[in-house]
A and B are shown apart, each in its own frame.
Chain A
Amino acid sequence: MTKVSKNIILKLDNLNKHFGGVPAVKDISFSINKGELAGLIGPNGAGKTTIFNLVTGVYSPDSGHIIFRDEDITSLKTYEVIHKNVARTFQNLRLFPRSTALENVMVAMQQHHAYSFGEAITHFGRWGKKEKEIKLKSMDIIDRVGLAKRADQPARTLPYGMQRRLEIARALALDPEFLFLDEPAAGMNPEEVNELNHLIVDIHKEFKLTILVIEHHMDLVMEICPHIICMNFGTKIAEGNPDEIQRHPEVLKAYLGEEVDE
């Protein structure tokens, strides 16, 4: 089912991760093509977030390889992975709660607008110009996710749905090629999910991103992701387009349970 292509941007090769005696991820292999909008689904505890944590270096795998743009990033530290143009959001939000929405995005944006320590403490040199750039570009992104009016509000006082969008904005500020979204629609009502749907599809096109999204809302995944990977108990049980996934016996078993012979 996986197409062999030179276009592959991310490739997981027989990835394994155990927590004590529990295998969280077992022999997972799949690859994502450049420019794809792919979905990663599976019941709770299937190991989806663990895969994100393995790729972004939060955990290191017991065995296996992670290849990003022809480069082995398996043993890189988290901050080094990010400098390969990867960004992610979190299932349980990890904003800087006391900083304003704008500051949250600026922290990410400034990674691409560095100036020296000397310029920082004296405010001479490039400080003024760079700070202005950071602020303007951050405002653009905040505006893009529809939070312009809330830019000066501390992040923790924003409504939940907005905090989710702010996290996406912060990840976008890193100017990534590959974006991992970990359950962006968790805890949202159907209307918000619908809005988010559009946002993800739009930023995918607009920023020319490759996106891998973990999602529990099946309608969201089926609607926006042409490529879906389904996991259960740490193993990949199916991969393909929405139709194939919906009809796959293993997927039905995982989500609906087995038929009982009478």
Chain B
Amino acid sequence: MSGYTEGIIILLCINFIAAMGVSLLTGFTGIFSLGHAGYMAVGAYTAAILTFQYEFNFIIAILLGGAIAAILAYVIGVPTLKLIGDYYAIVSIGLGEAIRLILENGGTITRGARGYPGIPPYTTLTVALCFFVVMAFLMFNLINSRFGRAFKACRDDYIAASLLGYNTSKYRVLSLVVSAFYCGISGALLGGFLSFIQPIMFDMVKSTEITSVVVFGGLGSMTGTLIGTFVITLITELFRPISQYRMLIYGAILVIIMVIRPEGVMGQQEFGPKMLKLLKRKFLRGNFSKEGGDINDKGI
């Protein structure tokens, strides 16, 4: 395998992990975030400093990167997620920018705006793939558990959820902490892949990019998030030769999706045996109907 393909696969794994985290928060719990690159930055710098400065084992450094991001999310989440509405989205913008500015002015610890060079290149193909597989396994298990159902209940109707005995703000904070952990890990892997990180890499553009990938794939669908990340990452790579038009194409694709499929590529459905069965039925019989034309929610 050429170094280039290998690089793309590693980058895909890194993007997958970050997108899964945001998908849990935005798609499954209904909280918009525009500052998740901030958690990636925290993970990336933690791992970088620990491996370069203190010569930690890289796996421990990556996990600590995720943990520190998660702790930060807890501190931010407890006061802000008690409020219902878009408050967290607004706070997250401030948080993302604040983290970036702190890193830019971090003196000898973060080495400022010029960036942090010389991180040991610990993110090999195997490491990236292993992290992706394990994190995806845990995430899919989580959404297929009582916690997944509780997150969705809080997203769909928080009053009904609290009248079913759920402390909704607790579940919202839990979702944020898990999602920050995923972004922290993703950032730590990115640092090890590039060997160099810079505060500007984790600005608001990066945050909106992750969120838009999740919306592209379909809010409330984890497989949709993976498909969305795959498509967007590959498109960005594909059009590298005409890089001045990349953002244009990227925007055009988002607009096309908004127009022809506003619920995202997968809507709220998961890609799996159940969906294959439905698709098969659609193509064989030409319709979705079941039990004599029963209503089946937009077919799928």
Contacts and interface: CB of A to CB of B under 8 A. Distances in A.
A2 interface: no
A83 B153 CA distance: 17
Contacts of B111: none
User: Which of B146, B163, B168 counts the most A-chain CB atoms under 10 A from its CB?
Assistant: B163
User: Which of A88, A90, A96, A106 counts the most B-chain CB atoms under 10 A from its CB?
Assistant: A96
Interface string B140-170: 0110111101101100110111111111100
B31 to A, nearest CB: 17
Interface stretch (A153-161, A186-194, A232-240): A153-161
Given A79-B166, A107-B149, A120-B147, A157 B142 contact: no
Contacts of A108: 164-165
A111 B160 contact: no
Interface stretch (A20-28, A121-129, A215-223): A121-129
Interface of A: 56, 58, 77-79, 82-83, 87-88, 90, 94-99, 103, 106-108, 110-111, 113-115, 117, 119-123, 127, 130-131, 134, 153-154, 156-157, 170, 174
B296 interface: yes
Per CB-CB distance, the 7 closest pairs between chain A and chain B, nearest first, are A120-B145, A82-B165, A94-B160, A78-B162, A96-B156, A110-B146, A121-B138
A107 B220 CA distance: 17
B163 A56 contact: yes
7 contacts: A82-B165, A94-B163, A111-B164, A111-B165, A121-B142, A131-B146, A153-B297
Interface residues of B, number: 31
Interface string B208-221: 00000000000010
Contact of B141 (A77, A83, A103, A120): A120
Contacts of A106: 149
Contacts of A97: 156
B295 interface: yes
A87 B160 CA distance: 11
A26 to B, nearest CB: 25
Given A120-B145, A174-B165, A94 B159 contact: yes
A88 B161 CA distance: 12
A127 to B, nearest CB: 7
Q: Chain B binding site: helix, strand, loop or mixed by DSSP?
A: helix
A117 B147 contact: yes
Interface in B222-269: 268
B162 A99 contact: no
Nearest to B295: A157
Contacts of B296: 153, 157
Nearest to A156: B297
Interface in B163-220: 163-168, 174, 220
User: Which of B147, B168, B297 counts the most A-chain CB atoms under 10 A from its CB?
Assistant: B297
Contact of B164 (A98, A103, A154, A170): A170
A92 to B, nearest CB: 11
Given A94-B160, A120-B142, A134-B146, 17 more contacts: A56-B163, A58-B163, A77-B167, A79-B162, A79-B165, A94-B163, A95-B160, A96-B153, A96-B156, A98-B220, A98-B268, A99-B152, A108-B165, A111-B165, A119-B145, A121-B141, A174-B164
B163 A98 contact: no
Nearest to B153: A107
User: Which of A98, A115, A127 counts the most B-chain CB atoms under 10 A from its CB?
Assistant: A98
A83 B157 CA distance: 19
B297 A107 contact: no
Given A110-B149, A115-B146, A120-B146, A88 B163 contact: yes
Nearest to A110: B146
Interface string B86-125: 0000000000000000000000000000000000000000
Nearest to B294: A153
A153 B297 CA distance: 8
